[in-house]
Amino acid sequence: MKRNLSVLLSLVVLAGLMLTACGAKPVVQTEGVKETAFKAVKVEAPNCDYGGEFKSIEAVDELTVKVTLCVPDPAFPSKIAFTSFAIQPADYLTFTGGNGALLEKPIGTGPYYVSNWVRGDQLVFKAFPDYWGEKAMSDTLVFKWSTESAQRLVELQSGTVDGIDNPGPDDFAKIEGDSALQLMPRPALNIMYLGFNNNPQVDGFDNAANPLANEKVRQAIAMGLDRQRIVDNFYPAGSEVADYFTPCAIPNGCVGDKWYGFDAAAAKALLAEAGYPDGFETVLNYRDVVRGYLPDPNVVAQDIQAQLKENLNITVNIEVMESGAFLDAADSGQLKGLHMLGWGADYPDQTNFLGYHFGAGASKQFGDKFTDITEALDKGAQLASDAEREPFYTTANNAVRAHVPMIPIAHGGSGVAYKAGLQGNPHSSPLGNETFSVMGNGTGTFVWMQNAEPISLYCADETDGESLRACEQVTQSLLGYQTGGTAVEPVLAESYSANADLTEWTFKLRKGVKFHNGFTLDAADVVASLSVQWDAANPLHTGNTGAFSYWSGLFGTFLNAPAQ
C-alpha cells in the first residue's frame, strides 16, 4: 500500500514537472538566441569632453545598475522613465543586429507581447502570462488606425472598436451627448508651433537668399500672426494660446517675457526694415496627421497661409508630406521655409520641451543653434530645485523669443473617447501613453483605434506618438509614469537612489522579471539596451533610421559620434 502510494506520488510529481516544463515555454520564440549568463559589464566614456551627459553605465551585480553622469541632472528619473529607454534582452539585441526583427517584434517585459503585425491593417498583442505585475484585463489587445476622425468615430459608434484617440473637435459635443460613449479630455500638455529653419541642410540651398535666415523676418512673422484667432476658431474647448513654448503646468514653463502680441502694422514695418517690403514667397510643410496639439492640420495651415498673405504679403505654398518622411526631413534639417509641427510632453520637465528642441543635443530642425539658448538650458538642466532653475529658464525663454526659431501657437486640448461602461480604469493620459492593460470590455479582446500606424516598434529610434503608445504596451523602462498621470514610479527598478550632487544614480532591479521570450532580466540587459543608443560606435547603433533622437535630445551628444 505504502509502495503504491509512493509510486503514485512520484507519478504525480513527474506529471507536475512535465506540466510545469510545458507551461514554462516562452510565449515568444526567439529561435537562434541563447541566454548567456550574467557578466558584470561597464561601458564608459574616457572623459566628459565628448559633450554628452553620460559618463558610464555599469552592471555592478546581477540586479544593480549604476549610471554615472558628467553633470548633475535632477530630471534624470523622469528622462530614464521614457519609453525610448526601455529594456530588451542583451542577447536579442545582439541577435537582431540592432534592427530587422527588432523593429517589428520587440521583446519586452510588459503586460502584452506582440503577437502579429499585419502592416496596413492591425497590430495584435496578447497578454503575457508571466508578467511580473498585475495581469492585463484583456487577453487580446488590437491596435487599429485611421487618419480620418470621422471613420474613428463611426467605428466607435458602431461598436467595432472600444476606444479612439483624438475625436475631431467638431465631434466632442456629439460624443458627450451620446450615452453609449464617454469622452475623456486630455490636458493640454503639448505645444503646436510654426517652425523656421534658419539654415536648411539641403545641397545647393542658398541660405544668403533665405529670408527666414533673417531674425527680423522671423520676428515680423511672429508679430503678424494672430494666434488667438487660430485657437478661437480652429481648436476645441480646453485649448489655449501658447505664450511660451512650454505649457505653464510644467515648472518654469512660463517664466520670462510673454510672446509677441499680434500687431499687423508693426509686423509689416519690421518686414520692410528687414528688406522685404513686398513680402516674399515661401513654403509651409506639414503632415496631414491629427494630433492632440493639432486637431485639424489642413484648416490651421490654410489660416496661417491666409494670415501671412493678408498681413505681410508673404505667399505661402502649402506642401503636405507623408508623416514619416516629414519627421525625418525635420530631424535632419532638410525642411525649407516654414513647417508646422508640435510636441506632446513625454515627462513634465523643461528638458523635455526647451531642452529637447533647442538644447545642445537638439536636432537640426530649426537650423543653426543659438548659444545663448543652449548655455542657459545646459545650466538650468543641472540644477535640482525649480527656484534655482528659474533664472536660466527665464533667460532661455527670452532668448527663444528674441531669436524666434519657431512661433508657439497653441496648447491644444484633445481627448480620448471610449465606449461607456468599460471595466477597469479607462483613462486618458496627459502624456498620450494610455495603458490598455488596466481596462477591458469583458469579452477578452479590447480594440483601440488611433490616428496612424506605428512606424516601427523599436522605440529607441522613434519619436512618433503612435509608435510610442504601441511600444508602451510591450516594453518597459527602469522607471515609468503613473497610469493616466505624470508622476514617476518604479517599474523594472524596484528602487533607485542618487548621490548628493545627482551625478551617480543606482537602480536596484526587480528580481525574477521575465522577458516575453523567457529570458530573465538582469543588469547586463540594462547596460546593453542603453549603451546601444549612447555609443555611436556600437555595431547595434542602427535602429530604424539611426537617429536615436530622444537620446541625443535628452542626453546630448553620442559617445564616439562621427565627426560633423
Partner 1 sequence: MTAQTTPIQKLDSEALSLDSVSLWQITRRRLFRRKSSVVGMVILAILIFIALTAQWLAPYSPTLSMLDAKPPENIGKRSAPCIYLLGCSQDQPQHIMGTDGNIRDEFSRMLYGARLSLMIGLSTVSFAIFVGTVLGALGGYFGGWIDNVIMRVMDVLLAFPSLLLAIAIVTVLGPGLINALLAIGIVSIPAYARVVRGSVLSVREMDYVSATRALGGNTYEILFKRILPNALTPLIVQGTLGIATAILDAAALSFLGLGAQPPTPEWGSMLGAERNQVFTAPHLVFYPGLAIMLTVLAFNLLGDGLRDALDPRLAHVS
Nearest CA among 279, 294, 293, 271 for reference residue 223: 271
Binding mask 223-252 for partner 1 (x = CB under 8 A): ------x---xx------------------
Q: Is 325 in the site for partner 1 (CB under 8 A)?
A: no
Rg (CA), the chain: 25
DSSP H stretches of helix in 385-494: 386-403, 465-472
Q: Is 135 in the site for partner 1 (CB under 8 A)?
A: no
Q: Cβ closer to partner 1: 147 or 483?
A: 147
Q: Please calculate the CA angle 365-366-367 and round it to the nearest 5 degrees.
A: 95
Q: Is 296 in the site for partner 1 (CB under 8 A)?
A: yes
Task: Characterize 322-331 residue by residue with b for buried, 16 or more Cβ atoms within 10 angstroms of its Cβ, and e for exposed.
Answer: ebbebbbbbb
Q: Cβ closer to partner 1: 139 or 303?
A: 303
Q: Is 388 in the site for partner 1 (CB under 8 A)?
A: no
CB atoms within 10 A of CB 420: 11
- Applying CB under 8 A, among 71, 101, 299, 422 the residue interacting with partner 1 is 299
Cell numbers describing residue 555: 542626453
Report, in Å, the least distance between residue 188 CB and partner 1. 20
Tell me which stretch binds partner 1 (CB under 8 A): 52-60, 142-150, 213-221, 461-469: 142-150
Q: Cβ closer to partner 1: 101 or 299?
A: 299
Report, in Å, the least distance between residue 306 CB and partner 1. 5
Q: Is 6 in the site for partner 1 (CB under 8 A)?
A: no
- Applying CB under 8 A, among 178, 240, 288, 328 the residue interacting with partner 1 is 288
Site for partner 1 in 153-182 (CB under 8 A): 153-154, 168, 170-171, 174
Q: Please report, for residues 297, 331, 339, the alpha-carbon distance to residue 197 in angstroms, rounded to integers and kept in the order given.
A: 20, 11, 8
Output the CA torsion sign for 465, 410, 268, 317: positive
Tell me which stretch binds partner 1 (CB under 8 A): 294-302, 436-444, 496-504, 524-532: 294-302
Residue 2: phi and psi, rounded to 5, are -60, -40
DSSP label at residue 212 = G
Report, in Å, the least distance between residue 159 CB and partner 1. 17
CB atoms within 10 A of CB 134: 9
Report, in Å, the least distance between residue 226 CB and partner 1. 8
Q: Is 148 in the site for partner 1 (CB under 8 A)?
A: yes
Report, in Å, the least distance between residue 216 CB and partner 1. 25
Measured distance CA(419)–CA(437) in Å, rounded:
16
Report, in Å, the least distance between residue 303 CB and partner 1. 6
Q: Cβ closer to partner 1: 169 or 256?
A: 169
Helix or strand run (H / E) with residue 141: strand 140-145
- Applying CB under 8 A, among 101, 318, 402, 422 the residue interacting with partner 1 is 318
Tell me which stretch binds partner 1 (CB under 8 A): 121-129, 303-311, 460-468, 493-501: 303-311
Grid look-up 533647442 returns 358
Report, in Å, the least distance between residue 301 CB and partner 1. 7
Contact 331, 161 (CB under 8 A): no
Grid look-up 484617440 returns 165
Provide the CB-side half-sphere exposure for 432 (13 A, CA).
Answer: 30
Q: Is 281 in the site for partner 1 (CB under 8 A)?
A: no
- Applying CB under 8 A, among 310, 386, 489, 501 the residue interacting with partner 1 is 310
Cell numbers describing residue 234: 480652429
Helix or strand run (H / E) with residue 329: helix 323-331
Q: Is 302 in the site for partner 1 (CB under 8 A)?
A: yes
- Applying CB under 8 A, among 69, 188, 289, 301 the residue interacting with partner 1 is 301
Q: Is 104 in the site for partner 1 (CB under 8 A)?
A: no
Q: Cβ closer to partner 1: 48 or 264?
A: 264
Measured distance CA(400)–CA(353) in Å, rounded:
12
CB atoms within 10 A of CB 43: 18
Q: Is 305 in the site for partner 1 (CB under 8 A)?
A: yes
Q: Cβ closer to partner 1: 39 or 309?
A: 309
Q: Cβ closer to partner 1: 170 or 386?
A: 170
# of chain residues touching partner 1 (CB under 8 A) = 26
Output the CA torsion sign for 63, 68, 73, 76: negative
Q: Cβ closer to partner 1: 286 or 558?
A: 286
Measured distance CA(304)–CA(320) in Å, rounded:
14
- Applying CB under 8 A, among 11, 12, 150, 237 the residue interacting with partner 1 is 150
Report, in Å, the least distance between residue 228 CB and partner 1. 11
Q: Please calculate the CA angle 168-147-482 and round it to the nearest 5 degrees.
A: 70
Where does residue 361 fall: left (phi above 0), alpha (psi -120 to 50 degrees), or beta otherwise? alpha
Measured distance CA(126)–CA(79) in Å, rounded:
28
Cell numbers describing residue 549: 533622437
- Applying CB under 8 A, among 10, 160, 317, 423 the residue interacting with partner 1 is 317
The total number of residues shown for the chain amounts to: 564
Which amino acid is located at 396 in the chain? Answer: A
The helix/strand/coil state of 300 is helix
Q: Please calculate the CA angle 459-461-464 and round it to the nearest 5 degrees.
A: 65
Q: Is 319 in the site for partner 1 (CB under 8 A)?
A: yes
Q: Cβ closer to partner 1: 64 or 151?
A: 151
What does the binding site for partner 1 look like in residue numbers (CB under 8 A)? 148-150, 153-154, 168, 170-171, 174, 229, 233-234, 288, 296, 298-299, 301-303, 305-306, 310, 317-320
